[in-house]
Structure 1
Amino acid sequence: MGTNIGPYVVVAGLVLAVVGVLAWTGGLSWFGRLPGDIRLIGENVRVYVPLTSMLVVSVVLSLAVTLLRR
């Protein structure tokens, strides 16, 4: 590991803490309920496939990694 990894770990921790606070306070209540997320609810079973939500996560993480590599 390089000697410059420390600041990246701190930034990742801060981002994780912010996302945790948003989830805890309800700031992310819209996430998982986007158009394109599939929910099938029966009497004894629930099937949830968050297609659009995971696409959003993928795009955001790809942009973040691209920006960090520059």
Structure 2
Amino acid sequence: MGNEIGKYIIIIGSIIVIIGIMVYFFHDKLGWIGKLPGDIRIEKENFRFYFPITTMILASIVLTLFFRFLKKFF
């Protein structure tokens, strides 16, 4: 059981490192994230509310497909 947990921790850590590298080097190309149509943004003088519903739906779809791919091959 410990062997399986270690394998999953390594996979998750590798994914986090890859995402970090992508954000570090391509941050200027990722400006559209959080600004998709359907993201709710309310800005007033002393108040800001931001709810990225479309971005989260897109992220959920991408992560679901990614984890199904991993599950199929591991």
CA distance in 1, matches of 2:4, 2:48: 45
CA distance in 2, matches of 1:67, 1:57: 15
| Shift in Å, 1:46 | 0.6
CA distance in 2, matches of 1:2, 1:62: 25
Report how many aligned residue pairs link the two structures.
70
Residue by residue over 1:27-47, the C-alpha shift from the partner in whole angstroms, topping out at 9 and shown as x without a partner, is: 432211111111111000110
CA distance in 2, matches of 1:64, 1:20: 17
User: Higher helix share goes to which structure?
Assistant: 2
- For structure 2, the residue ranges without an aligned partner over 5 or more in a row are none
| TM-score between both structures, scaled by the size of structure 1 | 0.77
- For structure 1, the residue ranges without an aligned partner over 5 or more in a row are none
Tell me the C-alpha RMSD between the 2 structures. 1.9
Task: Indicate the residue corresponding to 1:11 in structure 2.
Answer: 11
Aligned residues with identical type, % of pairs: 40
CA distance in 2, matches of 1:54, 1:42: 23
